[in-house]
């Protein structure tokens, strides 16, 4: 009996650890990859759940003063309608700006808005899930600044690089997988 008891505990622990790893693997992860000339290469992988849980512990009064202006609140329906119209629009390059120093392109592809900025000192690529923005804005109370908004958008982001900044002094990639 005692031998059985000893073998059961490691088995339970192993199952718990395996379950934890499986859960972690199934979670969405966000990876922040920073390379600078000074600090070298830094990679911070983090399950998306962690900052969400951490944000839940932020005291309510921390955002007490961060109230959304009434003028913005009144635009809720207009903003949602605009985002929905963008979502419904066919794929196309919506905005293109060229000058001798900068090139900007905003392209709608599927449910994604791709923003590309090429300037003399930085190259920026950003992918925004329009459907994620719509759902996050729809669920938001439009009264208080809420970090959940960002997590809701990240939740709906496709796997891959969301933001990539390549500047003279640093490269930053934010990936979701």
Contact track, another protein, 135-174, x by CB under 8 A? ----------------------------------------
Residue 36 lies near another protein (rule: CB under 8 A): no
Q: Minimum CB separation from another protein for residue 63, in Å? A: 24
Contact track, another protein, 16-35, x by CB under 8 A? --------------------
Residue 58 lies near another protein (rule: CB under 8 A): no
Q: Minimum CB separation from another protein for residue 93, in Å? A: 6
Residue 59 lies near another protein (rule: CB under 8 A): no
Question: What DSSP line would sit under the chain, residue for residue?
Answer: -HHHHHHHHHHHHHHHHHHHHHHHHHS-EEEEEEEETTTEEEEEEEETHHHHHHHHTS-GGGGSS-BPPHHHHTTHHHHHHHHHHHHHSPSEEEEEEE-SSEEEEEEEETTEEEEEEEESSEEEEEEEEHHHHHHHHHHS-SSB--THHHHHHHHTSPSEEEEEEEESSEEEEEEE-
Contact track, another protein, 82-101, x by CB under 8 A? x-xxx-xxx-xxxxxxxxx-
Residue 78 lies near another protein (rule: CB under 8 A): yes
Residues that bind another protein (CB under 8 A): 71, 75, 78-79, 81-82, 84-86, 88-90, 92-100
């Amino acid at each position: 009996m005692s031998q059985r008891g000893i073998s059961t505990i490691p088995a339970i622990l192993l199952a718990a650890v395996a379950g934890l790893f499986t859960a972690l693997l199934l979670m969405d992860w966000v990876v922040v990859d920073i390379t600078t000339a000074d600090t070298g290469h830094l990679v911070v992988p983090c399950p998306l759940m962690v900052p969400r849980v951490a944000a839940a512990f932020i005291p309510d009064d921390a955002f007490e003063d961060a109230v959304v202006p009434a003028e913005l609140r009144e635009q809720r329906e207009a903003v949602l309608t605009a985002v929905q119209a963008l979502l419904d629009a066919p794929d196309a390059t919506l905005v293109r700006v060229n000058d001798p120093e900068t090139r900007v392109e905003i392209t709608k592809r599927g449910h994604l808005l791709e923003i590309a900025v090429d300037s003399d000192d930085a190259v920026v690529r950003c992918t925004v899930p329009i459907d994620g923005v719509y759902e996050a804005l729809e669920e938001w109370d439009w009264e208080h600044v809420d970090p959940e908004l960002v997590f809701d958008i990240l939740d709906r982001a496709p796997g891959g690089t969301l933001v990539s900044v390549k500047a003279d002094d640093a490269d930053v990639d934010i990936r979701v997988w």
